[in-house]
Amino acid sequence: MAEDLHKMALEAAAHAHAPYSDFPVGAAIRTTDGRTYAGCNVENVSYPEGWCAETSAIAHMVMDGGGKIAEVAVLGLKANLCTPCGGCRQRLAEFGTAETKVHLCNAEGLVETVTLGDLLPNSFDMGEAP
Q: How many CA atoms lie within 13 A of 90 on its CB side?
A: 9
Q: Within a 10 A sphere around the Cβ of 126, how many other Cβ atoms?
A: 7
From CA 124, how far away is CA 50, in angstroms rounded? Answer: 23
* Cβ–Cβ under 8 Å, residues 41 and 110: no
Q: Is 54 a catalytic residue?
A: yes
Q: What are the start-end ranges of the E strands in the chain? A: 25-31, 36-40, 69-76, 101-106, 109-115
In the set 54, 99, 112, 128, the catalytic residue is: 54
Three-state DSSP state, 113: strand
From CA 58, how far away is CA 39, in angstroms rounded? Answer: 8
Report, as residue numbers or ranges, the catalytic residues: 54
